[in-house]
Amino acid sequence: MSDLYFIGGAPRTGKTTVVQKLLKQKPILAASTDAIRAVALGLVSKETDPHLHRVERGPFGSEEHLSNLKSNQELLLKQELASAEATWKSVLDFVGYYQKDAKDALVEGVAVLPSELAKVNFDFKAVFIVNLTDQTEEILSHARENSFDWLSKYDDETIRQYATFNYRWNQYYAEEAVKYGFHVVEIEPKNFHQSVDTAVELLSA
């Protein structure tokens, strides 16, 4: 029987750090939902899986996306969740492959939604990582100090708007995870590593 692990949450919450620490204790195959979706898009045609391809949002930086970031963040959240839901079938295909061979696997990312995870009929362990503090200045500072940060090419106002949206995204995961009875770990910036340890302990229990 496979041991399956799921880590969900909005971007920039510390999910990757949790994954890295868990893998030191239990080396297993790990994948992000972004990577799974990217592979699926390359393998599946629009005719075969129209839902995966039909995501009503442009890439970040498109005129539509930036407009929604500025004036309609609830619509933007709805679009992000639609993208996550469309990706979920590919996530289940991924873990199903490893279940057949009785191999352990871990999946992390924004497409791990509490509402979808609550529907599965196999055993797993899950935790949702959220950050419910205002991270605007931290996100802005990181973007300005690190050219590898994908936000670094945008102006300060756009980054601040993204930070506001990201906070709303975090609220969504926190509310939904509680609703469906999943573990929620709130990342405390001043106690980041302690928060990460708590998440790892919940997954390891």
> Tens of pLDDT along 11-64?
999 999 999 999 999 989 999 998 998 887 776 666 666 556 555 445 666 777
User: What are the E-state strand segments in the chain?
Assistant: 4-8, 29-32, 105-109, 125-130, 183-186
Q: Which residues contact 186 (CB under 8 A, 6 or more apart)?
A: 130, 131, 132, 174, 195
| pLDDT for residue 57 | 47
What's the one-letter identity of residue 44? V
Residue 120 zone, left/alpha/beta (φ > 0; ψ -120 to 50; rest): beta
| pLDDT for residue 3 | 92
Tokens matching residue 133: 């503090």
The model carries a pTM of 0.91
Total Cβ atoms within 10 A of residue 125? 16
Which regions of the chain are under pLDDT 50?
Answer: 56-57
